[in-house]
Chain A
């Protein structure tokens, strides 16, 4: 079974802090994704990566950056956290072909105070 592990289930940070959300997958997937989920808005893609050291902007990249130094790990960085970044963050991974499903982690519920 594919396992996608997000480092924290719940996280509380303060405005202006630099926040790191970590995601690790154990199935040698090429693709990794970060989404945020907000009520009434569904899942919105923040960033994704098709290979080590590669990254692509998703639909809402502003205020975020990512890092993929190793194939199994994809980090989401909030450079200077703001209250409007309070959300549920979901990480996913998949094989490289278009018909392959994405496998999701349990999510990190991040609160910015």
Chain B
């Protein structure tokens, strides 16, 4: 079975600090997809990024960056110069093939990030 581990349950930082959220996954699939979602206090999960297993390039989007390392089965997420609005629960997720051609997601338990002013 697939598994996603987010070892950090809660992280607290002061505004402008950099913070990295860890995600480690397990899968037997050779083709798979990894995702990060943000859940602010309002409750709705917001999609942040998708990465497929064949693309190990790191990605940067503004203050956000993602480091995908297949060798260590990790897909870590870094927020640079954190802001109070970054406070949220962040989920890492892994897609799993189901029934030959369909997919479903396995989520990690999430990391609660609190950015203090």
Chain A contacts to B: CB under 8 angstroms: 31, 33, 35, 40-45, 48, 50, 56, 58, 88, 90, 92, 96-99, 101-107
How many A-B pairs have beta carbons closer than 8 Å: the answer is 56
Cβ of B98: which chain A residues have Cβ within 8 Å of it? 56
In angstroms, Cα B93 to Cα A90, docked, is 15
Contact B109 A42 (CB under 8 A): yes
In angstroms, Cα B33 to Cα A54, docked, is 24
Chain B contacts to A: CB under 8 angstroms: 9, 31-33, 35, 37, 42-47, 50, 52, 91, 95, 97-99, 102-105, 107-110
Cβ of B50: which chain A residues have Cβ within 8 Å of it? 99, 101
Contact B104 A104 (CB under 8 A): no
Contact A104 B45 (CB under 8 A): yes
In angstroms, Cα B102 to Cα A56, docked, is 11
Cβ of B37: which chain A residues have Cβ within 8 Å of it? 104
Cβ of B43: which chain A residues have Cβ within 8 Å of it? 88, 106-107
When the two chains form the complex, which single residue of A31, A42, A92 contacts B102, counting CB atoms closer than 8 Å?
A31
- In the assembled complex, how far is the CB of residue B68 from the closest CB belonging to chain A, in whole angstroms? 14
Cβ of A45: which chain B residues have Cβ within 8 Å of it? 104-105
